[in-house]
Chain A
Amino acid sequence: MAAFVVTDGLKQLIGQKEPAIVFKVEEGAIQRYASAVGDSNPMHNDVEYASQSRWGRVMAPPGFTGWPMAAGFDIFKLFEKLAKAGAPMGLLDGGIEYDFLVPVGAGDVLVAEIKIANIEGRETKMGPTMVTTLESTYTNQRGAVVLVARNTFLNF
């Protein structure tokens, strides 16, 4: 076994930015997310409780934002682009890293800027593996960066 060798075609994709996505954080979407992950904090679920809190509105659990698809980004198109440039077909989520800077709540309008931060070859238990880091930066309607997320994908 050996580390995956990153082709020139793949190297050219490093640093490439995707078109920015603007999306609104909806109260119902927060509630459905909190319920799906089993987070019973009333700040996410209870409109009455949340409106009387210091935030005055339903707040999103950290991580509600940060996964590119949750912003409406078609990640499978990106995976196709990587595949065309020589990425192996096997695909798994490798992990995530977040910096939570400003809390996100219902009514916020966010701009997501997504780019391929890095592509490198490694050897893993799946064999030669390509490791892609996707970096997403989210900015709110007041111009504050609220979150930076780095997703790692494994192609093998």
Chain B
Amino acid sequence: MAHPVRIRFHGVRAIHPAPFKGNQTTGGNTSCIEIIDGNSMIFVNAGYGIATVGDRLLATLKERQQSPEITILLSDFLWDSTMGLPSFSPIHDSKTSVKILTGIPINSAIAGLNDVTSNIFSPFNGFQSLAAQKEIVHVNPGFQTGRWSVMAKVNQNALTADGATIWRLKHEDGANIGVVLLCERDERTIAETSNFLEGCDTLICAATSHPDQNVKDPNRLGFSDALTIALATKTKSLILSQFHPAMNDLAIQAELLSLQQSLQRFKQSGLGQNLTIRLATELENISVPDVDLVKIAI
């Protein structure tokens, strides 16, 4: 029997961590998603969320006498996507193999990783000084890791000269996941992104709306943009993440409610009939095997 693919969110915030009391339900760590198929260890992004899972992961694998092989896909090299990496225990373990997948050229990737691990800002001495066996892979356009086929598409983004990578992951057993964590909200970029992800069953999408509705960041998707992409790709399950740090639990719930009402209106006109929407939430205190947050149809 195939192992069900599961998704676990360790960090759901964009831009800046938000470890505040009003964010207990949703979470306050910056971007990190774990994709679990029972074989590979895959993370998307290495914001502060990845640091929370490192010790437990390393201990579990050592108990099982397994040498960890970890794959990290990065949407971009902005701080909210990489700053947890120096605090991710496996990266300091010489028996661990860490493969970093990026859609951008390797030299730019190394520069980004050196920044967060620079001895000016951290107790470390650049990316190469970290003890794990490390490999950076420029995915252009595809790469096979374990039972996953990974595809990358790079979009321009004014926040980063390197561009932002949109990921599509297809599992041998059929799971088909799109991940859009940083994307400009102009019509052309949204259309191109939707084309790339068309037909994915599950879409993890940024919803970085600011609590002040008058503040529109052209470089980050909002809740309604996520719904636009989900409808265009004909996905079945839309999972919203990358919340703005100023959005507390109540504000996020209110946005979800509003988005679900919009979806109902679309459904009345025949669009998005099979689509469901949910929020990503951090579930730090439940061990990985017990979590079945999202079971993807196999």
User: Are A and B co-members of a single complex?
Assistant: no
Q: A-side interface residues toward B, CB under 8 Å?
A: none
Q: B-side interface residues toward A, CB under 8 Å?
A: none
